[in-house]
């Protein structure tokens, strides 16, 4: 048989041709001018690809593989099963119009935002994709009819897609504007300017037609809610986690337990902090009132809308200096830009980190913050700013940047395994950012500011509640009842001390997505369990001294354990699902 590496090379050559947007995202730019074939014929081709390669990788004898190759083979087999599940069971492109908006934006934004090649080459690829946009719209029109088993097109996803389509027009305009600005001094850009102009006009017309189709044809017959239901949600959860041991019921149980423990800790902290933050008011007997009162006072210290980016830039500098001073983790010089979220990605709100692909070495990561919508009232805007107050922005910068997503993404891109780099695990990525925030707090970051600690626990509580509403919204029929908006908002506001605007945004996000909101809590839980087991292994006869608290972290010193060594070892295997990572890290320990 051919060596495993030869199989992997052949697999990726075929995979990237079938999935040109995945190729662009990975930094493999041979297919930058193409769209994936999202017709029924393309779906059949992907299913055949998944079946054939699953047979190939299953047939490779285990004794021919070293430890890392064995992990990569396991990951590839899981990914191929995920591909089959998406095209055969989930069928999202048949009922979710928003997914089509993400496809459009994902085909244009990376080519414009990252300078991986000459501008003329990138604009040529954009022109090619814009020329293919009418056919993509045709494919969407034919596909958005619901699934064969009766799942209708989601009305809420359709309405949201209509609101995000303007972001595609914005990307087309940005590409044309950049070309026209460069053409006088760059002959290669000038040479393709006429083609780009024609393609931009055709692309804009295609977006206008897509809007008409969604508004006039699809929305009137859209009868679905987008809820997956217990069976489909459980099937998707297994594939999201790449682990079949954690069922939705178990996730709900663990998240509920941890939420209760974190709330108890927040009550303890607020009791001590009340005289400082609410000196003119008697301390309430009700625990919820007590915590909410202190958090309300803290929330009053927030930035103005225009200053959010600058605040996070300054905070990033303070975080990096802390990490150097404590020798907590090695930093990176990879470029990072803190910017506003592109319009086509604003449906989820909040903040996000977009890392370059593993083959796009030296390209920027984007720490994107969603601005306040212009149509919001003054009261809505104030609620948003109170939620993302100064302390929450400090926590958010750790989560999204250092040592969170940005730093972890930079380490992941150094992993020699292309399999792990391309098929990264969301549960590891999101779990890492939650986990490492607590690591920073344990190391003493903001130790002179109890308000930061209370806000951190509020942020962590949000991760547990995210998992609860994710499970209850999509699979609640068998787990206490399907959660409606009033119940979800009540849990987030009264149970999680969130602002109402944030809570309603999160409810919408939970309806627009599925399983993703659970990854923060589940991933963090898995990484804390891994650190616990590494500490116990290194402690040897003193392993019993490594005792877990009801809330995460706080292990204290452990013989033989180095926090920096552990963090870097955990990041050193790529963005690998915790179920596959455990054995590698424990063996190294």
Q: Which of 520, 540, 562 is the last residue of a domain?
A: 520
Dihedral-angle region of residue 395 (phi above 0 means left; psi in -120 to 50 means alpha; beta otherwise): alpha
- Contact (Cβ atoms closer than 8 angstroms) between residue 352 and residue 400: yes
Whether pLDDT at 477 is above 80: yes
**Looking at the predicted structure, is the pLDDT value of residue 339 above 60?**
yes
Same domain, 214 and 291: no
The answer to whether residue 579 scores a pLDDT higher than 80 is: yes
Residues forming beta bridges with residue 354, ordered by sequence position: 366
Q: How far apart are CA 174 and CA 225, in angstroms?
A: 34
pLDDT of the residue at 345:
82
Q: How confident is the model at residue 344 (pLDDT cuts 50, 70, 90)?
A: confident
The pLDDT-based confidence of 346 (bands split at 50, 70, 90) is confident
Do 505 and 489 meet the contact criterion of CB atoms below 8 Å apart? Answer: no
If asked whether residues 180 and 254 sit together in one domain, one would say no
Ramachandran angles phi, psi of 498, nearest 5°? -90, 160
Burial class (CB in 10 A: 0-12, 13-18, 19+), 46: buried
Q: Is the dihedral of CA 367, 428, 439, 277 positive or negative?
A: positive
From 55, 103, 46, select the one nearest 76 (Cα to Cα). Answer: 55
Which tens digit of pLDDT belongs to each residue from 216-258? 999 999 999 999 999 999 999 999 999 989 999 999 999 999 9
Q: How confident is the model at residue 2 (pLDDT cuts 50, 70, 90)?
A: confident
pLDDT, mean of residues 176-188: 98
Q: How far apart are CA 432 and CA 86, in angstroms?
A: 25
**SS3 (DSSP) at 21:** helix
Domain that residue 107 falls in: 4-226
Residue 453 confidence (pLDDT) above 90 = yes
8 Å CB contact between 75 and 420: yes
Instruction: Say yes or no: 130 and 181 in one domain.
Output: yes
420 within domain boundaries: yes
Distances (CA, A) of 399 to 372, 393, 406, 437, 457: 20, 10, 9, 6, 13
User: For residue 362, is it within any domain?
Assistant: yes
- Please indicate, yes or no, whether residues 261 and 150 belong to a single structural domain of this protein: no
In this structure, the answer to whether residues 468 and 363 fall within a common structural domain is yes
- Determine the 3-state secondary structure of 560 from DSSP: coil
Write out pLDDT tens, residues 414-449.
899 999 999 999 999 999 999 999 999 999 999 999
For 489, other C-beta atoms within 10 Å of its C-beta total 19
pLDDT on residue 350: 79
- Do 24 and 65 have their domain in common? yes
Find the distance separating the first CA and the last CA of the chain, reported in whole Å.
Answer: 34
How many whole angstroms separate alpha carbon 369 and alpha carbon 399?
13
- Which range, of 157-166, 187-196, 473-482, averages the lowest pLDDT? 473-482
Are 405 and 512 within one domain?
Answer: yes
User: Is 409 found in the same domain as 265?
Assistant: yes
pLDDT band at 1 (very low <50, low <70, confident <90, very high): low
Residues 21, 64: one domain? yes
Task: Please provide the size of the chain in residues.
Answer: 589
Find out whether 496 and 458 touch, Cβ atoms under 8 Å.
yes
Counting residues of the chain whose pLDDT is more than 70, the rounded percentage is 99
Reference 465, options 527, 424, 509, 526; nearest CA is: 509
Single out the residue in 226, 256, 278 at which a domain terminates: 226
Q: Is residue 472 part of a domain?
A: yes
**In whole numbers, what is the pLDDT of the chain averaged over residues?**
96
Q: Are 394 and 272 in a shared domain?
A: yes
563 assigned to some structural domain: no
Average pLDDT over residues 161-175: 96
What's the pLDDT score for residue 349? 67
C-alpha span between 72 and 79 (Å, rounded): 10
Asked if the model's pLDDT at residue 499 lies above 90, the reply is no
Q: What percentage of the chain has pLDDT greater than the value 90?
A: 93
Whether residues 276 and 182 fall in one domain: no
367 within domain boundaries: yes
Return the ∠ at Cα 580 (arms to 551 and 85), rounded to 5°: 105
Q: Does 183 fall in a domain? A: yes
What is the distance between the alpha carbons of residues 589 and 586, in angstroms, rounded to a whole number? 5
Q: Where does a domain end: 499, 520, 541?
A: 520
User: What is the distance of C-alpha 553 from the center of its chain?
Assistant: 23
Q: Which helix (H) or strand (E) holds 502?
A: helix 500-512
Instruction: Establish if 448 belongs to a structural domain.
Output: yes
Please tell me the total count of domains within the chain.
Answer: 2
pLDDT digits (tens, 9 = 90+) for 93-123: 999 999 999 999 999 999 999 999 999 999 9
Residues 353, 406 contacting (CB under 8 angstroms)? yes
Q: What is the mean pLDDT of residues 375-397?
A: 94
Tell me if 492 is assigned to some domain: yes
202 lies in the same domain as 278: no
């Amino acid at each position: 048989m051919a060596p495993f590496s030869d199989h992997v090379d052949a697999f990726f050559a075929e995979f990237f041709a079938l999935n040109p947007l995945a190729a662009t995202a990975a930094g493999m730019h041979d297919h930058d001018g193409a769209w994936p074939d999202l017709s029924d014929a393309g779906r059949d081709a992907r299913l055949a690809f998944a079946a054939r390669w699953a047979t190939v990788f299953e047939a490779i004898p285990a004794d021919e593989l070293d430890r890392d190759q064995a992990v990569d083979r396991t990951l590839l087999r899981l990914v191929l099963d995920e591909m089959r599940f998406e095209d055969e069971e989930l069928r999202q492109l048949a009922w979710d119009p928003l997914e089509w908006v993400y496809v459009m934006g994902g085909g244009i934004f990376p080519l414009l935002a990252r300078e991986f090649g000459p501008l003329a080459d990138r604009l040529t690829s954009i022109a090619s994709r814009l020329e293919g946009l009418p056919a993509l719209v045709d494919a969407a029109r034919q596909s958005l009819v619901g699934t064969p088993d009766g799942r209708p097109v989601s009305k809420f996803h359709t309405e949201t897609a209509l609101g995000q389509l303007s972001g595609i027009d914005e990307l087309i305009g940005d590409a044309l504007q950049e070309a026209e600005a460069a053409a006088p001094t760059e002959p290669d850009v000038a040479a393709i300017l006429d083609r780009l102009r024609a393609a931009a006009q055709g692309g804009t017309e295609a977006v206008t037609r897509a809007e008409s189709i969604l508004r006039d044809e699809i929305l009137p017959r859209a009868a679905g809610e987008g809820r997956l239901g217990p069976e489909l949600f459980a099937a998707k959860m297994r594939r999201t986690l790449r682990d079949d041991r954690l069922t939705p019921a178990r996730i709900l149980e663990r998240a509920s337990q941890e939420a209760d423990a974190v709330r108890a800790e927040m009550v303890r902290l607020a009791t001590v902090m009340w005289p400082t933050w609410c000196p003119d008011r008697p301390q309430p007997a009700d625990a919820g009132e007590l915590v909410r009162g202190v958090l309300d006072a803290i929330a009053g210290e927030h930035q103005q809308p225009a200053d959010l980016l600058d605040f996070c830039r300054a905070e990033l500098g303070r975080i990096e200096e802390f990490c150097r001073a404590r020798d907590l983790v090695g930093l990176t010089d990879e470029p990072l830009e803190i910017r506003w979220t592109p319009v086509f990605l604003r449906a989820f709100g909040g903040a996000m980190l977009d890392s370059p692909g593993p083959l796009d070495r030296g390209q920027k990561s984007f720490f994107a913050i969603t601005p306040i919508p212009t149509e919001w009232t003054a009261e809505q805007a104030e609620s948003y700013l109170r939620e993302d107050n100064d302390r929450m922005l400090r926590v958010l910068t750790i989560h999204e940047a250092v040592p969170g997503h940005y730093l972890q993404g930079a380490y992941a891109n150094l992993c020699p395994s292309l399999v792990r780099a391309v098929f990264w695990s969301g549960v590891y990525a999101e779990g890492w950012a939650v986990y490492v925030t607590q690591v920073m707090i344990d190391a003493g970051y903001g130790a002179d500011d109890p308000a930061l600690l209370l806000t951190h626990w509020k942020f962590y509580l949000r991760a547990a509640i995210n998992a609860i509403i994710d499970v209850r919204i999509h699979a609640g029929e068998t787990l206490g009842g399907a959660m409606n908006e009033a119940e979800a908002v009540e849990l987030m506001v009264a149970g999680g001390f969130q602002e109402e605007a944030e809570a309603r945004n999160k409810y919408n996000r939970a309806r627009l997505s599925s399983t993703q909101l659970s990854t923060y809590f589940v991933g963090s839980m898995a990484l804390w369990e891994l650190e616990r087991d590494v500490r116990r292994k290194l402690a040897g006869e003193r392993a019993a001294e490594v005792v877990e608290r009801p809330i995460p972290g706080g292990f204290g010193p452990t013989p033989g354990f180095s926090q920096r060594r552990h963090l870097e070892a955990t990041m050193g295997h790529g963005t690998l699902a915790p179920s596959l990572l455990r054995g590698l890290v424990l063996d190294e320990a």
